[in-house]
Amino acid sequence: MKFISKLTLFLSAALVLFQGCFRDEIIINPNPSNLPNKLGVYVLSEGNGLANQSKLSFLSFANGDFNLNITFPSVLGLYPDGLIQYNGNYMYIIERGSPGSSGTIYKLDTNGIISGSNNFGVNPYSLAAANGKAYCTNGPDSSVSVIDLSSLTEIKRIKVGLYPQEITTIGNKVFVVNTHITGGGIDSTISVIDVINDVNVAQVRVSTSLTSLAVTNDGYLLVGSSSRGGVIYKISPANYAKVDSFSVNSATIKDINVDNTSDNIYFIRDNNSIVQLNLSDRSLTPVITPSVSNGIAYINGYAYDAKKQKHYIADARDFFLNGFLYKFNSTGQLESAFQTGIRPRRILIRN
């Protein structure tokens, strides 16, 4: 009888302990990376011509998790290239589509859930947003599509220079890099669009082989040019005058990033290294160069996290196999690597 009583007491205590543990598991805080308003790094991979190859990957600041693709309920289409954040917790992505056809704009929350999409333009490549509208470059059409972001409808198409590619905004102006058609005509101008009236108000001649745009901490436009050995121009957004230029010894200049805590900017040089340019003392400092230890093959995209002082590189490798997202510290030391989709291109950092 004493044995049965002791056994009953033991089982009762064990049940209470089990229930307590079970309740602790139920009320444990959810994984922070699954909460709304994610903070981390988004990487957009173009793929290689099949819709199921395009990916939007996410690296969480909360726990270091990396998810290869977070879009839901569907994947993105052919060759997504443009990626921005606008109005807080929404992101917008544009895909080029098949050659000569219309592209698509997608609206997503920070968890990758697609809430809307619409077809527009002709092979749109890059986008910027202002005044509740997205401005998307249509290379083959030599135009910029204006998209109402509340409905995702194309409300206007503005003719600009030849084969527009990169685009950015300063205040109520949109600046568009006009480039060249492969094997065809060449353009080396910046088109300026007034976002209030959505009209092309200026065509600014800068140099040849324009490749990248950025905005300095004091509100000037930076334009990268691969001509004359590689030059970055500083241009007034008010009167479009060249106020300075910086020789950077680079056959290609891509993805200029501005450090908002200093006078430094960073950019891709020759598709295989990251260089720091100080706009005050004009010094050039290599930060990341290819080596056996880091395995860099082809830098197709780049973003600098000024808050955490980290460099993120999208390595497209050979453009046929999956690429990589590399994370480097401020001194150029590789910290981690994550396999992405094919041809990773755009990187968006949310802090």
Mean pLDDT of 254-268: 98
What is the C-alpha to C-alpha distance for residues 225 and 22, in angstroms, rounded to an integer?
62
What is the C-alpha to C-alpha distance for residues 156 and 148, in angstroms, rounded to an integer?
9
> Would you say residue 32 has pLDDT above 70?
no
Residue 228 pLDDT class (50, 70, 90 cuts) = confident
> Would you say residue 16 has pLDDT above 80?
no
- Encoding tokens for residue 339? 């396999």
Mean pLDDT of 245-270: 97
Q: Is residue 306 a contact partner of residue 25, using CB atoms and an 8 Å limit?
A: no
List, in order, residues 6 or more apart from 77 with CB less than 8 Å away.
Answer: 51, 54, 95, 97, 104
Residue 2 pLDDT class (50, 70, 90 cuts) = very low
E strands of 139-283, at which residues?
143-148, 153-159, 164-170, 173-178, 189-194, 199-205, 210-215, 221-225, 231-235, 242-247, 253-258, 264-269, 273-278
Q: pTM surpassing 0.85? A: yes
What pLDDT is attached to residue 227?
Answer: 86
What pLDDT is attached to residue 203?
Answer: 96
What pLDDT is attached to residue 12?
Answer: 45
List, in order, residues 6 or more apart from 99 with CB less than 8 Å away.
Answer: 123
> Would you say residue 4 has pLDDT above 70?
no
Residue 19 pLDDT class (50, 70, 90 cuts) = very low
- The pLDDT tens digits of the residues spanning 110-139 come to 999 999 999 999 999 999 999 999 999 999
Q: Is residue 305 a contact partner of residue 322, using CB atoms and an 8 Å limit?
A: no
> Would you say residue 29 has pLDDT above 80?
no
- The pLDDT tens digits of the residues spanning 271-328 come to 999 999 999 999 999 999 999 999 999 999 999 999 999 999 999 999 999 999 999 9
- Encoding tokens for residue 327? 């994370």
